[in-house]
Amino acid sequence: MTRRATLLVVLALVPARGLLAQRGGASYRDPALPIETRVQDLLRRMTPEEKFWQLYMIPGDLTDPASDYSHGIFGLQVRGAGGASAEAVELDSLQRYFVERTRLGIPIIPFDEAVHGLMQPGATDFPAAIALAATWDTALVGRVAAAIGAETRSRGVRQVLSPVLNVATDVRWGRVEETYGEDPLLVSNMGAVFVRAIERAGVVATPKHFVANVGDGGRDSYPIEVSDRELERVYFPPFTAALTAGAQSVMTAYNSVDGEPASQNRHLLTDVLKGAWGFRGFVISDAAATGGATVLHMTEPTTESAAGHALRSGLDVIFQSSYPQHAPYLRAFLSGAIPPPVIDSAVARVLRVKFALGLFEHPYVSPDSAALRNGSAEHRTLALDAAREGIVLLRNAGGTLPLRRRPGMSIAVIGTDAVEARTGGYSGPGVHPVSILEGIAAKVGAGSVRYAPGPGRGVDDHAVVPAGALSKASGGRIVPGLEAEYFGDPSLTGAPVAQRVDATVDFNWTFTPPVPQLSREWFGARWTGSIAAPAEGIRRLGVSADDGYRLYLDGRPLLDRWAKVSGGVRMAEVALAPGTRHDIRLEYQVSRGDGKIQLLWDT
C-alpha cells in the first residue's frame, strides 16, 4: 500500500460529519470575533491531552497506525520526495485530517528548515547564510528571503526554523556557515530583513538559537559563561532586531548559559524575552533539547522533571524527533507537575499564532501554485546573483580570474568536492545543481579541463576490527567477543563496577555512560581477549579515541597515549600472519566530555 493510500485509509476511519456539527456554533470558529476571544473560547473547551498536543512538534505524518493524533498536534515536519506539488497535496491531506476529523478541528502548523532555502526537493537552494552575509546587501538578502517565503508558503509550510542569529565568535565551530558571521550589527541587519520577508509571506520565522549558542572553543552546545553586559552587547541585539521585524517564534539553544540550560532558563525566557522585551509569540525548544537537561547538562533526574522545569521557566513548545518520545512529556503534563495556568499560557500563545495565520479559515493551498513558484527561473537567477555578490576575492595573482577560453589552455581540477555540487548544511537537493567541474568546463570548454579525484576527504585504509575476529577464553572454551571491565575511575584502580562481553570495540558515548553504574564522565575500561588474523593477515593495528588509551599485543605495549588528548587515529605496524591468533588488551580512560573509542586494523 502506498503512503497516500494509507493516509486515505486513516482519514476514512474517523467519522467527520458529527464532529463538524458539534463545533459549528463555537465562538472560536467565528472569524469576525477578536483573536483573543476566540483563543479563550477554544482554550476552555480543550482537554488536558488536547492542550499537551498543541505544545508538541515532531517530524511525521499519518502513515504509522501506532501514532495517535486524535487529540491534534502543534505541527508536523513532512519529508516529501515528490517535489513542490506533491508536498502541497500531502500537507493538504494532513490538514484535512486535523481540521475535519479531530474533535476541535485545530489545524497544524507544518514546519521545516529554510536557513538558505526550503530544505525540500524542488525548492531553490540559495547561497549559505555566511555567503549571503558576505554580500553586505540587505536588499538582496531581503529578496532572497521573500523568494524562500513564497516557495515555503505555496507548499503549505507555515513555519521555518530560521534564521540562525548566533554570532560566530569562533571559526572552529562547525555551524559557522549557518550564521551571518561575527559582527552583531551585520547579523542583526541580515536577520531582520530575512524575518521581515518570511513573515510577510505568511510564514512564521523562528530565529535561533536563543541564546549564545556560539561553539565556544569550536565545541557545539558546551556551557557558555558570559556577563550580562556581553549578552546585551553581542548576543541579544540580533534577536531584538528579529522580534522588532515581526518574528512570531523563537527557538532555544542546546547549550547552558551561566549554569542554566537555555531551554529552562527562566531569566532568559521569562524575565528577558517575555518580560522585558514583551514577546507575545511562542518559544520552541531545539530538537530534543528539553530532555537535554538529563543527558547533556545532567541537571535533572528525569525527562518529566526537565519538562516541568522548562515549561515553568518559559518554554512553550517541546520539539522532539518522533511520536513515541511524547510519553514522558505527556506524563509531566498530566501529573500536575506543571501548573494549569502555565500550560494555558503556552497553549494560548500557540493558538494566537494559528488564528493570526488564518489557518482556521484557510488551511489548504494550491498544488499548481506550488509547482509554479518553486525552483522558478526567476528564483534561480536570484540565487545566481546572490552567489556572485557573495564571492570575496582576497587575491588574484597574475590576473588568473576571471577564467577565459585561451588556445592551449589546460586546467587541472582535483578533488571529489569538484563533482558533488555540495550546497552546504540544511540544504535540499537543489534545482539543476551545477558542480565546480561542470561550471569550469562550461566556461572554458571541456577539452581544456582534466579532472582527478585525488585522495578524497579521508583516508579509509583502516576499519573497525569486526566481531568475528575477536574472542575470549571462558570455561575452557573460546567464545566470541572481548572481556570488558568498566571502572569508576579513569586510572582503572580497584575492582571493576561492571563486567560484560563486548562483541567489538566501537563505541561513542555521547549522552549516556557505557553501563548504568558509571557516570557519563570520569570512568575507565579494559578489554582483553585475542584477535585472529584473517586470510590476508593484519598489516597494522590501531585505535581511534577521545581521551587516553593503551594497546597491548601479546603482552607488549603497542600504543601508549594515556594522557587526555583530543580525538585522533594512531596505527602501529604489526605484520600478523594469516590464521594466527594473538593476545590483545586495550585500556581506555575518560576524564571529561564524551567517550569515543574504536579498535582498528589494516588487512
3-state secondary structure 148-169: HHHHHHHHCCCEECCCECCCCC
Is 498 in contact with 518 (CB distance < 8 Å)?
yes
Q: How confident is the model at residue 549 (pLDDT cuts 50, 70, 90)?
A: very high
pLDDT at 16 > cutoff 60: no
Q: 3-state DSSP: the chain helix, strand, coil percent, rounded to 5?
A: 35, 20, 45
Is 503 in contact with 467 (CB distance < 8 Å)?
yes
Whole-number Å distance between alpha carbons of 17 and 129: 47
The 10s digit of each residue's pLDDT in 51-92 is 999 999 999 999 999 999 999 999 999 987 788 899 999 999
The 10s digit of each residue's pLDDT in 379-434 is 999 999 999 999 999 999 888 888 888 888 999 999 999 998 888 889 988 898 99
* Mean pLDDT, the chain, whole residue set: 92
The 10s digit of each residue's pLDDT in 504-548 is 999 999 878 899 899 888 999 999 999 999 999 999 999 999 889
Least confident of 20-24, 65-69, 249-253: 20-24
Alpha-carbon torsion, ordered 497, 503, 507, 511, to 10 deg: -50
Q: What is the DSSP letter of 47?
A: -
The 10s digit of each residue's pLDDT in 295-340 is 888 899 999 999 999 999 999 999 999 999 999 999 999 999 999 9
pLDDT at 158 > cutoff 50: yes
pLDDT at 2 > cutoff 70: no
Going by their DSSP bridges, the two strands 538-545 and 523-532 should be labelled as unpaired
In this prediction the pTM is 0.85
Whole-number Å distance between alpha carbons of 477 and 481: 13
Q: Residue with C-alpha cell 513515541?
A: 324
Quote the pLDDT of residue 4: 45
pLDDT at 352 > cutoff 70: yes
Is 506 in contact with 499 (CB distance < 8 Å)?
no
Distances (CA, A) of 565 to 221, 462, 506, 561, 596: 20, 21, 18, 8, 12
Going by their DSSP bridges, the two strands 204-205 and 159-160 should be labelled as parallel
